[in-house]
Structure 1
C-alpha cells in the first residue's frame, strides 16, 4: 500500500503513477474522498465517545430525577456511539480497500507503458551462430525427449495440459541448477529457507497478488488457502506484524519451493514444452532493508542474478520493465532474458523487483528508529528456476543431440561434461 500521507500531500504524483501504469487516475480522488469520509466519521465517533465518558462521571455524581434523565441520555448516547463506530469502521474498510487497489509508485526513470515499452539496459554475450557450425537447431522439448529428460505426454495424462515429468537427467539437471543457485545465494549472504506453498489470504493480499492478477492464483476454497506462485509470498509473510532491527544491515533469505500458476489468459502462448507451465521449482532471493538502502539492495540482487546467468554461459539481456508491466507491488523491476535459439527471441528467465515499502505497509513490518516507527522495504529476485533448463538445453546443444554442461554446473552433475541422448 502506498503512503497515505504522500497521497494526501501529492495526489497529482499518484495520478501520474496510475497513468504510467495504464490504470485509472480517478481512483486517486475516490481514495481521497473515502479517506476524508473515514477521518470525519472517526472524529464524530471519538467526540461522541468522549461525551459518553464524561456523562458516565456525571451519572455517578447525580441524584434522583437528574440521575434518571442522565441515564436516559446515556442510553441514547450509547446507541449513537455504536452506530457511529459501525459507520467509522465501514468508512475505514472502504478507504483501505480503495487504497490497496493503487499500485506502487514507479521509481524515477521507469518507462511508462506496457510490456513492449521496456528500456534495454544491456546485452551480455552473443547468441551462437548455429548455421555457421552446421547445426540444425532443435528446441528444448526435442532435446529433452532425446535425453529422456522431459515427458510431457505422461504429465498431461496424470495432471492435464501444461504439466510434465522431469525424468532421469531432467530431474538431475533441475536439481543441479537449483542447488547451484542456492549455493550462490548463500555465498552472497542469504539464509536458505524451505518455505510453505500454501498461505493465508491476508498474506497473499499483503504481498499484492490478489489484485488484477488474482485469476492466475490457485485457491483451495474449502481451506481458504492459496497456492503460491513464488516463495516471495511466504518470505514476505515471514515477518508480518513484526518489528525488525536492521541496524546491522538487510535481512536476506533464499527460499526454495514448488510454485503454482494458473496461467490464466495465456492460451496459445508457449504451449510446447516447459516454458509456460502450471507447476515448477524456484530459488527466490528476498530481502528486508531500510528504504534508503532499497535501490542499492536491488542492484545487488540484479548482480547476483547476472553472475548466475554468466556462470551457466547463457547469452542474455537486461531490461528495465515498463510501469504497466510491473505488477502492483514493484516500484522498479529488472528482467533478465536469455536467448532462445529455436524461436530466435529473448525469453524471460529471471526478474528482480524493488517493492519499496509497499508490501511492508500492508503486512505491518516496521522498524523502530530514532526518527520514529517506519515501514521497511522489501526486495525480491529469482536466481534459479525450472525454465532455465529450456535456455540451457537450447544454447548448449551439439550437432549429435547432446548438450554441453557448463563448467560451473559440472560439480552438481557428478562431473559430467555433456548430456548424451538415450538410444
Structure 2
C-alpha cells in the first residue's frame, strides 16, 4: 500500500507511476478527494464529540430551566456524533479499499511500456553452437528417465509431471546448491507453510489483478502460494523489528502452485509453464534507504548461481507496465534455450519498497525510536524451470547431459546418461 502522506505531498509521482504501468491516473484525484472528505468528517466528529462532552458536564450544574434545554441538545448531539463517526468510518474504509487497489510507485529509471518494452542490461556468455541437432528438454528428460509428462497428466491432468530418477536428483541438487549459497551469504534457511490465510495473500499484493492465478481452498479459506515470498512476507506481520538486526535475510524452499489462467496454448510441451514446481526464494526486510542497494545484491546472488551453472543468460530491466502490483522495480535473468532460439526467464528480483510492509504492518524503530515501515525485497535463486536450461545447454549428441562442475557434488554424478524407457 502506498504512503498516503507522500501522496498528499507529491501526487504527480503517483500520476506518473500509474501512466508508466498503463493504468488510470484518475485514481489520484479520487484518493485525494476521499482523503479530504474523511479528514473533514473526522474533524466534524471530533468537534461534535467535544461539544457533547461539554454539554454533558454542564447538565449537572445547570438550573432546572436550563437543564431541559441541555438534555435536548445532548440527545441531538448524541445522534450527530454517531452519524459523524459512521461517515468518517465509511469514508476511511472506502479510502483503504481504494488504496489497496493501487499498485506500488514505479521506481524512477524503470523502462516505460509493457511486456515487450524491457531493457537488456547485459548479456553474459555466448549461446552454444551445436555440431548436431539439439534435442529439447522434454525429449532429453524422457531419454534420461528424468521427466514423465504422460503419467503426470494421467495422475493430475495437464501441466503436471513427475521428475524421476536423475530428474529428481537434479532438482534436489540444484535447490540444495542454492540453499547452501544463500546460507554462505548470511541468509537464514526456511521451509515455510504453503497454505496461507487471505490476509497474508492480500497483504503481499497477490489478490489484485492476478488473483485468478491463485489456487484457493474455499472450505478452509486458505490459499496455495505461488512463491514462498508470500509466507516469508507474512512471517513478521504485525511486528516491530529491531533496527540493528536489519537486514533480515531469509531463504525459503517451498513447493509453489499457479493456475496459469490465460495461458491456454502457451508452453504446453515440457515443464516450462506448469501448475506445481519447487523454488528457492530469497526474501529480505531492510531499511527503506538501503533497499535500492539490497536489490543490486539480490541480483548479484542470482547471477552467481547462473554463472556456476555455466549458462548463457541476459539481465533485463522490466518495464513499468509489466511489473507486479507490489514491485517498484524488477530485474529478470533469462537463460538461453537452444531449441527455442530465445531467452526465457529463470529468475526475478523485485524491490517492493514499503508497499507490502504497510499492508502487513511490519515496522522497525528509527534512530529516534519512532516506528517506521520496513522495505521488503525478493529474488529467485533456483526453481524447477532451471532444469530446462541445464539439460538443453549441456546436452551431448548421444542424448547424455554433462552436469555443470559446481553442481556435481549435489547431484552425485558428472554425466546424466540415457536409460531404457520403462
- Give the TM-score range, shorter chain: over 0.9
Structure 1 residue 107 corresponds to structure 2 residue 107: yes
Structure 1 residues 358 and 150 mapped into 2: Cα distance closer, same or farther (>3 Å)?
A: same
Structure 1 residue 262 corresponds to structure 2 residue 259: yes
Task: Answer with 372-381 or 75-84: which moved more.
Answer: 75-84
1:198-277 alignment to 2 at 5 Å? 198-277=195-274
Which residue in the other structure is 1:71 paired with? 71
1:292-331 alignment to 2 at 5 Å? 292-331=289-328
Which residue in the other structure is 1:376 paired with? 374
Structure 1 residue 280 corresponds to structure 2 residue 280: no
SS at match of 1:117: coil
Which residue in the other structure is 1:410 paired with? 408
Q: Which digits, 9 at most, give the CA deviation of each residue in 1:175-199, with x for residues without a partner?
A: 1111001001101110001111111
Structure 1 residues 224 and 65 mapped into 2: Cα distance closer, same or farther (>3 Å)?
A: farther
User: Deviation above 6 Å: which 4+ runs of structure 1?
Assistant: none
SS at match of 1:61: coil
Structure 1's unaligned 5+ residue stretches are none
Which residue in the other structure is 2:48 paired with? 48
Relative to the length of structure 1, the TM-score reads 0.96
Which residue in the other structure is 1:343 paired with? 340
Deviation at 1:73? Answer: 3.0
Take 2:252 and 2:262, find their aligned partners in 1: how far apart are those partners? 27
Which residue in the other structure is 1:4 paired with? 4
Structure 1 residues 399 and 353 mapped into 2: Cα distance closer, same or farther (>3 Å)?
A: same
Deviation at 1:68? Answer: 4.4
Take 2:154 and 2:362, find their aligned partners in 1: how far apart are those partners? 44
Take 1:73 and 1:156, find their aligned partners in 2: how far apart are those partners? 74
Deviation at 1:63? Answer: 5.8
SS at match of 1:247: helix
Structure 2's unaligned 5+ residue stretches are none
Which residue in the other structure is 2:21 paired with? 21
Task: Answer with 168-177 or 51-60: which moved more.
Answer: 51-60
Take 2:49 and 2:206, find their aligned partners in 1: how far apart are those partners? 38
Deviation at 1:62? Answer: 4.0
Take 1:219 and 1:70, find their aligned partners in 2: how far apart are those partners? 57
Q: Which digits, 9 at most, give the CA deviation of each residue in 1:220-265, with x for residues without a partner?
A: 1222211111010111111111111232430000111111111111
- 8 Å CA contact 2:243, 2:366 repeated in 1: no
Relative to the length of structure 2, the TM-score reads 0.96
Q: Which digits, 9 at most, give the CA deviation of each residue in 1:73-96, with x for residues without a partner?
A: 333322222222221111011111
Which residue in the other structure is 2:135 paired with? 138
Task: Answer with 41-50 or 106-115: which moved more.
Answer: 41-50
Which residue in the other structure is 1:91 paired with? 91
- 8 Å CA contact 2:243, 2:365 repeated in 1: no
Q: Aligned-pair RMSD on alpha carbons?
A: 1.3
Which residue in the other structure is 2:359 paired with? 362
SS at match of 1:116: coil
SS at match of 1:394: helix
